[in-house]
Amino acid sequence: MVTNIIHLRFLSVPENVGLARVAIAALAGQAAFSLNDIDEIKVAVSEAVSNAIIHGYQGRTDGWVELSGTLDAQQITIVVEDFGVGIHDVDQARQASYSTDPERMGLGFVFMESFMHGLTVQSTVGQGTRVEMQRFVTIQGELSRDAQ
């Protein structure tokens, strides 16, 4: 299987969470991910894109969100980037139940972490946030022979 790459740039409009989910599901479907794997990848992407829109742009709908997906037979790597307010303390933000919004659960990063095999968050206050996550193709919970 050849490496495939997609790159989407969309405005921080809440409807685009669904667009991001569909795009990444269509890409992941080209490798040997199970339907359950793809559902989990979609949740992780939703959480990252929602964060960009809700927190990064604080409800503004004129900010750019960049989404990329890179796929080969062994893994998918997804990057979600915004150019919004940024995060003061990334380690604190990644803690379970931590949220700057009392109405929220503070579980977005926890979902991303538990559904993906790697999560890197880089952020600069006033410049934006970049979330990179990776998931390996597994067979019955084991890393596939190809990935080893």
Ligand X SMILES: Nc1ncnc2c1ncn2[C@@H]1O[C@H](COP(=O)(O)OP(=O)(O)OP(=O)(O)O)[C@@H](O)[C@H]1O
Rounded to whole angstroms, the Cα distance separating 15 from 110 reads: 23
Q: By C-beta, is 73 or 86 nearer to ligand X?
A: 86
Question: Which of 28, 71, 76, 93 is close enough to bind ligand X by CB under 6 A?
Answer: 93
- What is the full DSSP assignment across 41-102? HHHHHHHHHHHIIIIISTT-SS-EEEEEEEE-SSEEEEEEEE-SS--S-HHHHTSTT--SST
Rounded to whole angstroms, the Cα distance separating 105 from 82 reads: 21
Q: By C-beta, is 37 or 47 nearer to Mg ion?
A: 47
Residue 104 is a catalytic residue:
yes
Give me the catalytic one of 51, 81, 130, 135.
51
Which residue in the shown chain puts its C-beta closest to ligand X? 108
Inter-residue contact 5 to 66 (CB < 8 Å): no
A 10 A CB-CB count for 101 gives 9
Question: Which of 74, 99, 134, 138 is close enough to bind ligand X by CB under 6 A?
Answer: 99
Residue 47 is a catalytic residue:
yes
Q: By C-beta, is 4 or 100 nearer to Mg ion?
A: 100
Binding mask 62-91 for ligand X (x = CB under 6 A): --------------------x-xxxx----
Residue 81 is a catalytic residue:
no
Chain residues that interact with ligand X, rule: CB under 6 A: 47, 51-52, 55-56, 82, 84-87, 93, 98-101, 104-109, 129
